[in-house]
Structure 1
Amino acid sequence: MIENDRLIQRIIIRKNLSKHRVKSYKTIIKEIHEITNKTITKLINEAKEEQKPKIENTQIVIRDINDRQITQIYYKYYKYLKSKNKPSSIDQKLKTFRSFFNEYDVELPKNIRINIPQKLIRNGDIPDIEDIKKAVIHSKLRNKSILMLMATSGMRSGDIRNLKVVDFINATIKYHEYKDINEAIKVLSKIKEVIPCWEFIPQKTRKQGNICITFNTPETTKSILDYLKERKHLKNEDYLFTSTKTKNKEKKIRNTTLSAIFRDLNNNYFSGKSTESKSFFHAHALRKFFSTTFRTHCHDTIHQKIVMGHSLESKILESYQMINKEDLLKDYKKIILYLTINENLNNDKNFISIEQENILLKMKLESTHKQLNNLIREVKMLKSLIWVE
């Protein structure tokens, strides 16, 4: 059994592999067994034996990597994958193959380069604000709140499913002083615009140590509040979004339930935009909508990565403590207009012109401050030169 193989058990423990990653390793090991009829342990032992120096005619001889069995298996596995997988899957499986054998110090041949065609995102490929509005209008309150949170925060569906009521309290804490959700709801319901600040470790990239700091629009907050008011005996430790079934009242919403929500929306309202192989309206498409909107109107690449929960490559920002949440919020406020689903607000020309005017004024003010600071520095330099003379 693959699960009982000691080498697999070791790599699972040492790398603290996720269930998804363990599944990937098992799939590859099963496929390699299919083409070699050998266990992974036997293949590793044979490969390590082959790479040992041998003495032939009093000379130390090391077998060339191209003549070793592991190279033949590597290329054989590549041919096997080509007949069954698309380029991106081949690339991923070969990387996992190498990762496993590298773990046990097996020397491998050079990488096989896989050309993965890059798909361009064109207008109409992902939902726009009108598509999201259509989905929201035809959804019940819980589902509406989830869709709006996805579209206006960029959160992954897995992270939204894991949110608890206490996370909502913490995200809105600057608007109230309560630790109890029922008291917090009373205060928040009286405030016209509440923009929560969500700070969490994304489930998908937990091992990379990424942190996500993002926000959602005031109308999304209102929808969440309306949904929470409907629920009885609400407690801080409850999941923010729960199953509607009575017996699962306090359980978080399942991934299959989310899939069913999107499937129904696609079948009923987006059938013309979906294909047999791909649905048009899905959770990741809403994340792309948010990402595209933020990137279009906010050009700070570091801020883009933070709100999406991506890795910060810059060594200057190794610590997330250096992140200024107020600066992030300023950038987020620039795009609220483009994330707002309410028809009246979106079509209000006066509101749009005022918002755009405010943004321009802020930009001019920031530019003036920079110029003033530069002038102050120049004056100080001139004074120091005069003093020296």
Structure 2
Amino acid sequence: MDITSDPKAKLWLDGFGKKRNTKLSYTLAMKQYTEFTGKTPTQLIEEGKEDIKAGKLMDERRIFIEFNEFHNNLITTDKAPKTIYTTLAGIRSFFNKYYIEVPKVKYDSEAKSLPENEEIPEKEDLREALKVCTPMQAAIMLTGISGGLSAEDITNLKLKTYLDGLDKETGICTLVQRRMKTDTRYITFLSPECTQAINKYLEIRDRKIKAKDSRRERQLAKQRASPDSYLFISERIKDEYLQTGDEEIRKLTVGAITKIFRDISDKAQQNTPGGQWNTIRSHNMRKVFDSALLNAGADSFFVEFIIGHKIDKTRAAYFRAQPEKLKEIYAGYIDALTIEEKLDPTEHPSYTLMKQRNEELETQNEIMTRERQAERETLKTVLDEIEKLKQATTEREKLQAEFSPIMEENEEQIKAVEDITGVDFVTAVENYDVGRIIPPDSEAMKEHNRRLKADPEYKAKWRKITSYKEHKKLENQKHETFNTLLDKL
């Protein structure tokens, strides 16, 4: 059933504007629902309104039976929790458009993907994948890894944006972007490894042939760069483009990028069993970017901003006003984002920046002033603060490791109470005899409770790892150190 031609569905989908991924996801959800019920979107709305006008209670309406049966069908067919949540959200959105109430069903509003779908590829996996890539595939893959761009944002990236942001000296490209999904303006960067791959791809696009071959020349003409060209274009372009010059004709689609990553995964022989997502896929490149930066010690606010997530307006404005400082911070993590093992040190942006700074220092040493000396002392203070922060973080990690089994058991007990009562734990404590519901303590938990009463030192450590005040204190220490470092760069 093609629901996009249905007037009720069309009006609903038009309301999402340029959010193509949301449209696609919700269209698929609604298609499943209409096939399950055997009714068109218009019929569903008409029936819903008829039942409301007839004064029927929710459990007497047709939507009550159909929606619950559909929900049960999703569960019995072993759909992932996140898939169920997204599917139901799409159907709710459709009915809400026409002010028709949808029955409540129990599902996880913070559903996650299945554990096997959360895996991200290691660097060695990515190296093997890059070996089988075409120049275009390698450029797209590295754009996701080094800049954290989503498939949709990659398709919207313009050639001019890339060329304007490319620093030929360092090889880093600065991209001032607006993320389509969240309508958030942000700044991100592409690594030298990535820009080398993109430049190679662009050279191939603009290549010329020596022998006269009109058919081949026409093919090359369709892919050559133009002032308004997208950075990445479709591999198959209609002849219509040569007559109109309309860049939308050769624009790459999100579906095409999905197919590109499927092809890479096939060639690299890294496909996963049926029913699971391949680790070599577009969204995972974004996860690799996020994970690599955080594991290398990057500040979480910095990572959130350059990946295009929404952060508080004050901090976002602060970041947007300092692209060069952000670029210097990014340059410090190039090693973490570089996939190939061999990279010429003289081409590394960190090398270029260090060389530039050393030359500046040599000049400044001859005319050293008290002000400069004060700056050095301030920098030393910042480094001392960073060292203290590292020690505090290490201490907290050790405590987390020590108390991890106890904290996990606590979480399991809380979840068990919430699953049985259907309400959050605090509400359950207020309204139920939780002591009769909560699972019995393990031997480890009993020993933990005994030590809390008998061992003051043990009790102090437990309070330190579970105290929100201590957690907040460490987070504030991180942010203050990061802000001081930004100011002194």
Deviation of residue 293 (structure 1)? 0.5
Count of residues in correspondence between the two structures: 331
Q: 1:23 maps to which residue?
A: 27
Q: 1:139 maps to which residue?
A: 133
Deviates more, 1:17-26 or 1:296-305: 17-26
Provide closer, same or farther for how the CA distance between residues 214 and 70 of structure 1 changes in structure 2, counting only shifts above 3 A: same
Provide closer, same or farther for how the CA distance between residues 329 and 29 of structure 1 changes in structure 2, counting only shifts above 3 A: same
Q: Which runs of 5+ in 1 are unaligned?
A: 52-62, 176-187, 372-389
Provide closer, same or farther for how the CA distance between residues 239 and 93 of structure 1 changes in structure 2, counting only shifts above 3 A: closer
Letter paired with 1:76: E
Provide closer, same or farther for how the CA distance between residues 154 and 337 of structure 1 changes in structure 2, counting only shifts above 3 A: same
Whole-angstrom distance in 1 between the partners of 2:330 and 2:148: 12
Q: 1:184 maps to which residue?
A: none
Give the counterpart of 2:231 among 217, 240, 247. 240
Whole-angstrom distance in 2 between the partners of 1:345 and 1:3: 49
The answer to whether the Cα contact below 8 Å between 1:154 and 1:291 also exists between their aligned partners in 2 is: yes
The answer to whether the Cα contact below 8 Å between 1:154 and 1:288 also exists between their aligned partners in 2 is: yes
The answer to whether the Cα contact below 8 Å between 1:266 and 1:274 also exists between their aligned partners in 2 is: no
Provide closer, same or farther for how the CA distance between residues 105 and 363 of structure 1 changes in structure 2, counting only shifts above 3 A: farther
Deviation of residue 337 (structure 1)? 1.0
SS in 1 for 2:328: helix
Deviates more, 1:322-331 or 1:113-122: 113-122
Percent of aligned pairs sharing the same letter: 22
Whole-angstrom distance in 1 between the partners of 2:158 and 2:178: 14
The answer to whether the Cα contact below 8 Å between 2:305 and 2:316 also exists between their aligned partners in 1 is: no
Letter paired with 1:366: V
Deviation of residue 365 (structure 1)? 5.6
Provide closer, same or farther for how the CA distance between residues 270 and 291 of structure 1 changes in structure 2, counting only shifts above 3 A: farther
Provide closer, same or farther for how the CA distance between residues 284 and 93 of structure 1 changes in structure 2, counting only shifts above 3 A: closer
SS in 2 for 1:211: strand
The answer to whether the Cα contact below 8 Å between 1:129 and 1:341 also exists between their aligned partners in 2 is: yes
Whole-angstrom distance in 1 between the partners of 2:85 and 2:237: 45
Provide closer, same or farther for how the CA distance between residues 68 and 263 of structure 1 changes in structure 2, counting only shifts above 3 A: closer
Q: 1:57 maps to which residue?
A: none
Give the counterpart of 1:71 among 59, 64, 81. 64
Letter paired with 2:306: V
Q: What does the per-residue CA deviation read over 1:253-286, in whole Å, with 9 as the maximum and x for residues that have no partner?
A: 4556545543444334334x63344433222222
Whole-angstrom distance in 2 between the partners of 1:352 and 1:330: 8
The answer to whether the Cα contact below 8 Å between 1:35 and 1:77 also exists between their aligned partners in 2 is: no
Deviation of residue 197 (structure 1)? 0.9
Deviation of residue 343 (structure 1)? 2.5
Deviates more, 1:290-299 or 1:21-30: 21-30
Deviation of residue 362 (structure 1)? 11
TM-score, normalised on structure 1? 0.68
Q: 2:284 maps to which residue?
A: 285
Q: 1:34 maps to which residue?
A: 38
Letter paired with 1:211: R
Q: What does the per-residue CA deviation read over 1:185-236, in whole Å, with 9 as the maximum and x for residues that have no partner?
A: xxx3xx3x22111122233x0xx32234211112322232233234146432
The answer to whether the Cα contact below 8 Å between 2:264 and 2:280 also exists between their aligned partners in 1 is: yes
Whole-angstrom distance in 2 between the partners of 1:218 and 1:155: 16
Deviation of residue 154 (structure 1)? 1.4
The answer to whether the Cα contact below 8 Å between 2:3 and 2:27 also exists between their aligned partners in 1 is: no
Q: 1:220 maps to which residue?
A: 194
Provide closer, same or farther for how the CA distance between residues 368 and 163 of structure 1 changes in structure 2, counting only shifts above 3 A: same
Q: 1:58 maps to which residue?
A: none
SS in 1 for 2:188: strand
For residues 87-236 of structure 1, what are the structure 2 equivalents within 5 Å?
87-114=81-108, 116=111, 119-120=114-115, 125-172=119-166, 175=167, 188=168, 191=169, 193-203=170-180, 205=181, 208-230=182-204, 231-232=206-207, 234-236=225-227
Whole-angstrom distance in 2 between the partners of 1:287 and 1:67: 46
Whole-angstrom distance in 1 between the partners of 2:191 and 2:185: 20
Deviation of residue 49 (structure 1)? 1.2
For residues 332-371 of structure 1, what are the structure 2 equivalents within 5 Å?
332-345=330-343, 364=380, 366-367=382-383
Once superposed, what is the RMSD of the aligned Cα atoms? 4.3
Q: What does the per-residue CA deviation read over 1:16-46, in whole Å, with 9 as the maximum and x for residues that have no partner?
A: 4744156246415514642899911322212
Q: 1:269 maps to which residue?
A: 268
The answer to whether the Cα contact below 8 Å between 2:45 and 2:98 also exists between their aligned partners in 1 is: no
Deviation of residue 311 (structure 1)? 2.6
The answer to whether the Cα contact below 8 Å between 1:217 and 1:339 also exists between their aligned partners in 2 is: yes
Letter paired with 2:178: I
Q: 2:13 maps to which residue?
A: 12
Deviates more, 1:31-40 or 1:21-30: 31-40
SS in 2 for 1:201: strand
SS in 1 for 2:342: helix
Q: What does the per-residue CA deviation read over 1:58-81, in whole Å, with 9 as the maximum and x for residues that have no partner?
A: xxxxx6544544433332332343
TM-score, normalised on structure 2? 0.56
Provide closer, same or farther for how the CA distance between residues 362 and 97 of structure 1 changes in structure 2, counting only shifts above 3 A: farther
Q: 1:295 maps to which residue?
A: 294
Deviation of residue 333 (structure 1)? 2.0
The answer to whether the Cα contact below 8 Å between 1:29 and 1:40 also exists between their aligned partners in 2 is: no
Whole-angstrom distance in 2 between the partners of 1:259 and 1:24: 16
Letter paired with 1:300: D
Letter paired with 1:274: T
The answer to whether the Cα contact below 8 Å between 2:139 and 2:194 also exists between their aligned partners in 1 is: yes
Q: What does the per-residue CA deviation read over 1:312-341, in whole Å, with 9 as the maximum and x for residues that have no partner?
A: 3x3545758855323432332232011223
SS in 2 for 1:274: coil
Deviation of residue 144 (structure 1)? 2.5
Deviates more, 1:276-285 or 1:288-297: 276-285
The answer to whether the Cα contact below 8 Å between 2:234 and 2:251 also exists between their aligned partners in 1 is: yes
User: Does residue 308 in structure 1 map to residue 336 in structure 2?
Assistant: no
SS in 1 for 2:138: helix
Q: What does the per-residue CA deviation read over 1:77-136, in whole Å, with 9 as the maximum and x for residues that have no partner?
A: 32343344613333223223322223333344434224846545899x322222222333
Q: Name the structure with the higher helix share.
A: 2
SS in 2 for 1:20: helix
Give the counterpart of 2:48 among 44, 49, 55. 44
